[in-house]
Amino acid sequence: MKKIMFCFMVCIGSNQSFSQEIEEQGILDTINKNEIWLNFTPVVQVIIGAGAPYQSEFGLMYKRHLKGKYWLRAGGIVSPQQNYWDPTSYDVIVGDSLLITTSNERGGYHYAGFIGIEYRKTNSKITRFIGADLIYRQENTFRRIVEQDYFIDSIAAFPERHKYVRPMGDPEELYQERNQLMGGGVGVVAGLIFPLTEHFLLSAQVYMDFVFSVGERELIDRTTGVHIKNSGTTQFDFNQSLFQANLLFRF
């Protein structure tokens, strides 16, 4: 009788322990089922002094655990309107009192949305992942060439001409090109996830995408009088980001 009671108590204890494990695992699964990813790569670029402002992209992504080692990923990125002067600008001196500066200005913005699948594998505390996305992308870009005449006050001080020249009138636009494109493609990603706390994590990843776009392109060349507007423009882009940093919130 004592042996029967002992076996009965062992069975009850084992069942309670098993039920507790299932309950705890259920709580963990609930906690780990959703993630919000915030791309803070532009902040890292500013801190380490790498990259250029016009390349900044801000992204937000949602991930949800599906089954086993697979996760659903969906989100978007945006690069706000930012203009910059191309370093290929050049100067021409006419006589000893006239400086003609020709500059290239570029700029624009783009945004994209994506949805895909991610596979994860955890070793110790570090999680490795790879994934693939379907992408929709839209971009508006422009390029223009501007010429500005300056009067040189002192040719002897030409090495420091920014102190001795004065603009003559307003800048003249010689060339302008604008593109409005939209399209779709695929992207691939690989990276690592590092835990900070139970709910906050860091991620470092590389991302590449291939996008085919169609849209409108307008070209105005004021030196020749040529004006072309093409609504059937096509473009194939290969973009790669060798480093992206993300802050994760898991819930």
Tens digits of residue pLDDT in 119-128: 999 988 899 9
Q: CATH number for the domain including 179?
A: 2.40.160.20
61 and 3 housed in the same domain: no
Structural domain includes residue 57 = yes
Backbone angles phi, psi at 13, to 5 degrees: -65, -40
Spell out a b/e string for 115-148, using b for 16 or more CB atoms within 10 Å of the CB, else e. Answer: ebebebeeeeeebebebebebebebbeebbbbeb
Is the confidence at residue 54, as pLDDT, over 50? Answer: no
- pTM for the full predicted model: 0.72
123 and 3 housed in the same domain: no
- DSSP tag of 49: T
Structural domain includes residue 166 = no
Q: Round to the nearest angstrom and report the end-to-end CA distance of the chain.
A: 50
- Alpha-carbon distance 114 to 211, whole Å? 12
135 and 45 housed in the same domain: yes
45 versus 133: the higher-pLDDT residue is 133
SS3 category, 246 = strand
17 and 111 housed in the same domain: no
pLDDT attached to residue 53: 47
Structural domain includes residue 27 = yes
pLDDT attached to residue 156: 53
18 and 39 housed in the same domain: no
10 and 50 housed in the same domain: no
Structural domain includes residue 163 = no
pLDDT attached to residue 23: 40
Among the listed ranges 74-88, 129-143, 173-187, which one has the minimum average pLDDT value?
74-88
- Alpha-carbon distance 203 to 73, whole Å? 14
pLDDT attached to residue 47: 65
Structural domain includes residue 192 = yes
Is the confidence at residue 62, as pLDDT, over 90? Answer: yes
3 and 80 housed in the same domain: no
Structural domain includes residue 161 = no
Structural domain boundaries, residue 3 = 1-31
134 and 17 housed in the same domain: no
53 and 90 housed in the same domain: yes
Tally of structural domains, the chain: 2
- Alpha-carbon distance 162 to 72, whole Å? 55
Mean of the per-residue pLDDT values of the chain: 81
Radius of gyration from C-alpha coordinates of the chain: 29
19 and 113 housed in the same domain: no
Question: Where does the pLDDT of residue 135 fall: very low under 50, low under 70, confident under 90, or very high at 90 and above?
Answer: very high
pLDDT digits (tens, 9 = 90+) for 9-36: 444 444 444 344 434 334 444 456 899 9
2 and 38 housed in the same domain: no
pLDDT attached to residue 8: 44
196 and 240 housed in the same domain: yes
Stretch 109-118: mean pLDDT: 96
